[in-house]
Amino acid sequence: MRRLHLPARVLWLALLSPLPVARAAAPAPPPLMQALEAELARTAELRLPDAPPPYLVSYEVLDGEVATAEALFGALSSTDDGPYRMLRVDVRVGDYALDSGNFEGNFGDRSGTRMRLLPDEDEVLALRRELWLATDEAYKGATEQLSSKLAAREGSVRELGPDLLRVPPLVTEPALRPAVPVEPLEALVQALSARLQGQGLEEGRAVARSWQGVRVLASTEGHRAWLPTGFAVLRVEAATRAADGALLRDAVSWVVPTPAQLPPMAELEAEVDQMVAWLQGLRQAPVEEDYLGPVLFEGPAAMEVFRQLLAPELAGTPAPERPPEGFADGEQVPTARIGRRLLPEGWTVVDDPVAAREQGLAGGYDHDFEGVAAERVELVQDGVVRRLLMSRVPREGMDRSTGHGRSLGADRRVAMTAAVTVQPARPRSPSRLERKGLALARQTVQPYLLVVERLEPPALAEDFRVAFSGEAPLPGLTRPTRAWRLYPDGRREPVRGLSFVGVDRRVLRDVVLAGRVQEPRSELDAEPGPQRFGIGVVGGLPVTWSVPPVLVGELELHGAGGREQRVLPPPEIGLAGPVRTD
Amino acid sequence: MSPIPTTSPRALAPPLFLLALVLAPPLWSHARADARPAPPADLDPLHAAVQAELLRSWELLQAQPEPAYWLQLAVVDRVTWTVQATHGAAGTWTEDHARLGDVDLRVGSPELDNTHKIRDAGWFSEEERARVDLPLQDQPTALRLGLWRAVDDSYRAAVRQLIKVRANDAVKVAAEDESPDFSAAPVTVDLRPSPPLVLDGEEWTDRVRQVSAVFLEYPEVHDSNVSFRAVDEVQHTLSSEGTRLRFPRRHLRVAVSASTTAEDGMQLEVYDYVDAASPDGLPDAETLTRMAHGVARRVTALRHAPLVDPYVGPAILRGRAAAVFFHEVLGHRVEGHRQKDEDEGQTFTDKVGQPVLPDFLDVDDDPTRARWGDTDLNGHYPYDDEGVASEPVSVVDDGVLRGFLMSRSPIEGFGRSNGHGRRQPGAAPVARQGNLLVQARRTVSYDQLRARLVDLVRAQGKPFGLIFDDITGGFTFTGRVTPNAFNVQPVTVWKVFPDGRPDELVRGVDLIGTPLTTFQRILAASDQSDVFNGSCGAESGWVPVTAVAPDLLIQEVEVQRKEKAHDRPPLLPPPGPASSTPREGT
């Protein structure tokens, strides 16, 4: 480290000394920001021989408290709480037109993004040591990534647009991270999972997590921001077994900004009890072996249909470039396209994170992870895509971020839905939807209409065929966990064992009728791609969707029963599913 | 807004994983904490719930067409406290409570059961092990529901596996070792108290924070960590034979590590630690500070040490290096189950009664031993994971092979367990090491040993000899598909010159070789031994182990270049007030 000689030091002190006037000195920034600023300043000296220096260094620190509690049948099985301070550093070399980003190298290749846990204590020097090491690694990774990208482009005649959009720096006042006590979550999961005991269930689990904190941004572009962030998730799941041995699962979940915004206990209990009753009834339900006909999606299932099929069509971030010789050789066809008809005439789709934040919905926020103010975006008009959600990664014809740059962990910040409202042209009453559905069923020689109320969320999907291709047609949608047959006489009969066959976005154009937009519903999700699958119970980013129930003219579903029964009865009288008797 | 994004890990371990047996000191990275209350064993609700479900399941399973002939339920009730610090800033004192359950169930008969190895099997042919979801609270219904599902899953998996075993047995030629799959063991009831472990979290947080600041004085130390970890376990093991065990196990560790990158890109790390079975055995702040300075100075010195080229010549393995060497080279090869597994190299299977080591060496494995001098031994345990009391085993006596480490899977000539069936919770037990103790009947002082090394260097016309002073761990391959070799990974290696020049610290090599050749070249042992406490990873997961050995003079060893990274060292100097020269003393 260079040291100032005395005369220079004296001059420096003189310049910095406050004048003897009655003016309060600006308060020092919090220690974390002091550390970020100090190391950002030093990045100007970063230089590798024969390689460009960084043109942009961005620090993002998730600084918060997290509490998680899990209970099995009324007894705690896991509990955890404490601070969480994770650094994400993104170093880019090159310039805004062509930089090291937006490139996905071969397996094991490094990038300019690094994650590193930071000390919980506000010791500036200790924080700076971690920042120093992470920035150094990220710069080296970015340099390699740029060279790989240039090599991949060698000989290519494709004309490619810029890599990163300029944005004005975001500067906010410091915000504190709130405490997140675990005890209320423990009490909640114990109470709710206790309701699963003695109900003939094999599995009964409740898990809750609350993460509350700030996203601290600091960059060489001038960002100095503290963005309050957080969510709470509660999930109760249960399983029982049908007579043929099929394991039947169902779950209810809530995603809200803070635990205080969860519904009242009586409402939570009622939903849990309803789930239990559903599972108990489902044990005797028939297997829906093959179905080809109209399907009515109601409640959470309608939300899942739009979330799974529509979200990738609204995110405008182009796919990253890939090496031509790579495993996933990538002349990738962009999914989201302006001008594509996605929905019937007259339908609109809007994403408005700020309004959602004002309404206290989990998907809402004011600024995205890149420090860009969130915009209301009218994505679909009259059923046709007119605009797309954008992060700072531009695409042809779209050179402005809409403030939707988010993603999990170290992933590239890409456009991701936040708070979507799908509005049909002419909402119909529930009875009208059912009547129309039954009429369509008659036309396809089905004695009943299939109604789906819940789909397995992708984050928990066990059937990876939804995301990855195989020999059979992709299901396209996750499996229904609550479905029934609606007969013309009004009788409702639960069915089980269903999977979709070959669904894709085109079914949305075939929506025959839709109801009124339902209450907003939030879930945890990820940016479009296979990372949406298998996130787990409490991982992901909150999104909110407000959608109508929809009647689709024709869908194909295949059903399968179970294979293996339990041998031992459970250790509680009357608790059980069936037991093999041979 | 995802603080801890989670994914569904579906990583597939390559088949070689099962062959590579790894030894390493595990790098584990407010208020006063008391462990769980300790009810009398007979009133322990967890123990009672396990017992009730064991009896009920056992009775029901007897009525099945393929009845179980042995059932064991085991629960490790574990509380772990940790705190770590870096560069003068501490993390949070955390307490983690977990209950880890295991179901071990056998169908068929002791002669041939579902655990029998399927020969020439494809990948993923091993029997599925049931997941056991156990609550932390002593709620009998929730506990028993978790156990019920696991027993039922285990039973159905066992029946499926037995069908495959029988078919495989019919298709294949007779096995070389036709020993049964299971042996009888004495029924034991031993319910020990588990007094609470009392820790002062604030004190330990302060201590690791203060000690971690030491590294700020060493500009060439790039990264560092000081950690405290305490594990307080109570193991419950209950079997259909009537065995009922409840016993505590404690392990505490303070560790100091520092790393740097050499100018040639090699990542260098020095790790020092103290293990103990109680807080009294851990170092005070002053001792820990000295450890930190020592680690910092060693890693700084290593950064400037020259590389060694591949070399063959005489060497001394200091105690810890010799201990790891014996753990890898001998210990894994005398684990009982390997003697009847025809995919294994079976180096020693047919050598019982024959010399395998120089006649001045004895090797025992004694899990009953709790201490070596003042050092608590990691590989101490009263009962193994099959409910069998641990026993001292004479493996080599006067250089002659005498016995093997046995689980309840018998082998030809060794029909019973000697209490070495071990596992990490979640895995099936196999024979594993506990405290491997290498002792010499004829010794010389270390100075004499060193003088003999210099003589050997001269006699062999070598430019230098090597002293392996400290090691991080090692691994070995015991199968037939890969070379039956070992690799011991030293941290500190010294060149010793025949002309009296001072020893020179060097870096960048691993000690390699094959077992039989290397054993033949052990020439002498010193009169001082050292202890390596660590964890060993193999088929049945990670288990705590100890190896103790004297310094050994070896006529000829081979070293190969160590794997290394290639990144330049950090481009900027570290932030902060570090001076350019490390402080001496302290």
Q: Do B568 and A38 touch (CB under 8 A)?
A: no
Residue B554: inside a domain, yes or no? yes
What's the pLDDT at A334? Answer: 62
pLDDT: which is higher, B217 or A572: B217
Please tell me the distance from the alpha carbon of residue B343 to that of residue B177, in angstroms, as a whole number.
Answer: 13
Place of tokens 């519903």: A521
Enumerate the residues of chain A whose CB falls inside 8 A of the CB of residue B572.
Answer: 42, 45-46, 132, 136
Q: What is the CATH number of the domain that holds B165?
A: 3.30.2290.10
Confidence band, pLDDT 50/70/90 cuts, at residue A434: very high
Q: Looking at chain A, which residue has its C-alpha nearest residue B578?
A: A1
- Same domain (yes/no): B383, B296: no
- Structural domains in chain B (count): 2
- Same domain (yes/no): B190, B324: no
- Same domain (yes/no): B34, B175: yes
Enumerate the residues of chain B whose CB falls inside 8 A of the CB of residue A571.
Answer: 52-53, 56, 141, 144-145, 147-148
Q: How far is CA B248 from CA A140, B128, B279, B413, B570, in A?
A: 49, 29, 15, 33, 46
Q: Looking at chain A, which residue has its C-alpha nearest residue B259?
A: A133
Provide the domain limits for residue B300. Answer: 24-304
Enumerate the residues of chain A whose CB falls inside 8 A of the CB of residue B87.
Answer: 119, 123, 125-126, 129-130
Give the A window 504-533 contacts with B, CB below 8 Å.
Answer: 524, 526, 531, 533
Share of chain A above pLDDT 90, in %: 76
Q: Does A263 touch chain B (CB under 8 A)?
A: no
Please tell me the distance from the alpha carbon of residue A531 to that of residue A454, in angstroms, as a whole number.
Answer: 21
Confidence band, pLDDT 50/70/90 cuts, at residue B484: confident
Confidence band, pLDDT 50/70/90 cuts, at residue B363: very high
Residue B473: inside a domain, yes or no? yes
Residue B4: inside a domain, yes or no? no
The predicted complex's ipTM stands at 0.87
Q: How many CB atoms lie within 10 A of CB A34?
A: 15
pLDDT in tens, B268-326: 999 999 999 999 999 999 999 999 999 999 999 999 999 988 999 999 999 999 999 99
Enumerate the residues of chain B whose CB falls inside 8 A of the CB of residue A406.
Answer: 1
- Same domain (yes/no): B258, B187: yes
pLDDT in tens, A455-471: 988 877 765 444 454 45
pLDDT over 60 (residue B36): no
- Same domain (yes/no): B287, B250: yes
3-state secondary structure B76-122: EEEEEEEEEEECCEECCCEEEEEEEEEEEEEEECCCCECCCCCCCCC
- Same domain (yes/no): B269, B320: no
Confidence band, pLDDT 50/70/90 cuts, at residue B579: very low
Residue B580: inside a domain, yes or no? no
Ranges of H-type helices in A154-229: 183-194
- Same domain (yes/no): B339, B245: no
Enumerate the residues of chain B whose CB falls inside 8 A of the CB of residue A125.
Answer: 87-88, 216, 575-577
Enumerate the residues of chain A whose CB falls inside 8 A of the CB of residue B135.
Answer: 71-73, 75-77
Q: Does B92 touch chain A (CB under 8 A)?
A: yes
Of B275, B304, B333, which residue constitutes the final position of a domain? B304
Task: Look at residue A186 and give its three-state secondary structure.
Answer: helix
pLDDT in tens, A413-430: 999 999 999 999 999 999
Overall average pLDDT of the B169-190 stretch: 91
Confidence band, pLDDT 50/70/90 cuts, at residue B436: very high
Confidence band, pLDDT 50/70/90 cuts, at residue B564: confident
Task: Look at residue A521 and give its three-state secondary structure.
Answer: strand
Give the B window 220-259 contacts with A, CB below 8 Å.
Answer: 222-223
Best mutation target, B71, B145, B155, to test chain A (most A CBs within 10 A): B145
Residue of B87, B146, B571 lying closest to A72 (CB–CB): B146
Of B258, B273, B304, which residue constitutes the final position of a domain? B304
pLDDT in tens, B324-347: 999 988 999 999 999 888 888 888
Residue B30: inside a domain, yes or no? yes
Q: How far is CA B580 from the centre of its chain?
A: 39
What's the pLDDT at B561? Answer: 85
Q: How far is CA B583 from the centre of its chain?
A: 35
The average confidence (pLDDT) of chain B is 89
Q: How far is CA B486 from CA B219, B334, B466, B482, B534, in A?
A: 36, 15, 18, 11, 18
Residue B467: inside a domain, yes or no? yes
What's the pLDDT at B28? Answer: 35
Residue of A77, A125, A536 lying closest to B87 (CB–CB): A125
Residue B42: inside a domain, yes or no? yes
How many angstroms away from the CA of B291 is the closest CA of chain A? 20
- Same domain (yes/no): B74, B138: yes
pLDDT in tens, A166-179: 999 999 999 988 88
pLDDT in tens, A330-385: 455 567 999 999 999 999 999 999 999 999 999 999 999 999 999 999 999 999 99
Please tell me the distance from the alpha carbon of residue A400 to that of residue A392, in angstroms, as a whole number.
Answer: 7
pLDDT in tens, A219-245: 999 999 999 999 999 999 999 999 899
- Crossing angle between the packed helical segments B140-171 and B45-62, to the nearest 10 degrees: 40
pLDDT over 90 (residue A485): yes
Overall average pLDDT of the A191-217 stretch: 96
Q: Do B5 and A409 touch (CB under 8 A)?
A: yes
- For B20, the enclosing helix (H) or strand (E) is strand B20-24
Q: How far is CA A335 from CA A273, A311, A388, B284, in A?
A: 41, 10, 11, 62
Overall average pLDDT of the B78-88 stretch: 96
How many angstroms away from the CA of A336 is the closest CA of chain B? 24
The average confidence (pLDDT) of chain A is 89
3-state secondary structure B223-280: EEEEEEEEEEEEEEEEECCCCEEEEEEEEEEEEEEEEEECCCCCEEEEEEEEEECCHH
What's the pLDDT at B13? Answer: 28
Overall average pLDDT of the B424-446 stretch: 97
Q: Looking at chain A, which residue has its C-alpha nearest residue B212?
A: A126
What's the pLDDT at A539? Answer: 85
Please tell me the distance from the alpha carbon of residue A116 to that of residue A123, in angstroms, as a whole number.
Answer: 16
Report the DSSP pairing between strands B198-200 and B223-239: unpaired
Overall average pLDDT of the B559-581 stretch: 78
What's the pLDDT at B483? Answer: 80
Q: Do B145 and A73 touch (CB under 8 A)?
A: yes
Confidence band, pLDDT 50/70/90 cuts, at residue A252: very high
Q: Do B5 and A408 touch (CB under 8 A)?
A: yes
What's the pLDDT at B480? Answer: 75
- Same domain (yes/no): B318, B466: yes
Lowest mean pLDDT among A329-343, A368-382, B142-156, B459-473: A329-343
pLDDT: which is higher, B153 or A397: B153
Residue B64: inside a domain, yes or no? yes
Q: How far is CA B216 from CA A203, B220, B265, B303, B576, in A?
A: 51, 9, 22, 17, 8
- Same domain (yes/no): B292, B337: no
C-alpha torsion sign, points A153, A154, A156, A157: positive
Q: Does A69 touch chain B (CB under 8 A)?
A: no
Q: Does B581 touch chain A (CB under 8 A)?
A: no
Q: How many CB atoms lie within 10 A of CB A28?
A: 8
Enumerate the residues of chain A whose CB falls inside 8 A of the CB of residue B568.
Answer: 48, 140
Q: For residue A113, give every residue at least 6 positions away whose Cβ sits within 8 Å of its Cβ, in sequence order, or none.
A: A88, A89, A90, A91, A138, A141, A410, A412
Q: How far is CA B46 from the centre of its chain?
A: 28
Q: Does A341 touch chain B (CB under 8 A)?
A: no
- For A33, the enclosing helix (H) or strand (E) is helix A31-42
pLDDT in tens, B518-528: 888 999 999 99
Of B281, B304, B327, which residue constitutes the final position of a domain? B304
Q: Looking at chain B, which residue has its C-alpha nearest residue A418?
A: B1
Q: Do A229 and B1 touch (CB under 8 A)?
A: yes
Residue type at B352 in one-letter notation: V
Confidence band, pLDDT 50/70/90 cuts, at residue B577: low
Please tell me the distance from the alpha carbon of residue A126 to that of residue A422, in angstroms, as a whole number.
Answer: 48
pLDDT over 50 (residue B15): no
Q: Does A570 touch chain B (CB under 8 A)?
A: yes
Overall average pLDDT of the A106-126 stretch: 93
Q: How far is CA A363 from the centre of its chain?
A: 9
Residue type at B257 in one-letter notation: S
Q: Looking at chain B, which residue has its C-alpha nearest residue A118?
A: B91
Q: Do B136 and A79 touch (CB under 8 A)?
A: yes
- Same domain (yes/no): B321, B284: no
- Same domain (yes/no): B161, B52: yes
pLDDT: which is higher, A409 or B438: B438
Task: Look at residue A23 and give its three-state secondary structure.
Answer: coil
C-alpha torsion sign, points B530, B534, B538, B539: positive
Helices (H) and strands (E) in chain A, counts: 8, 21
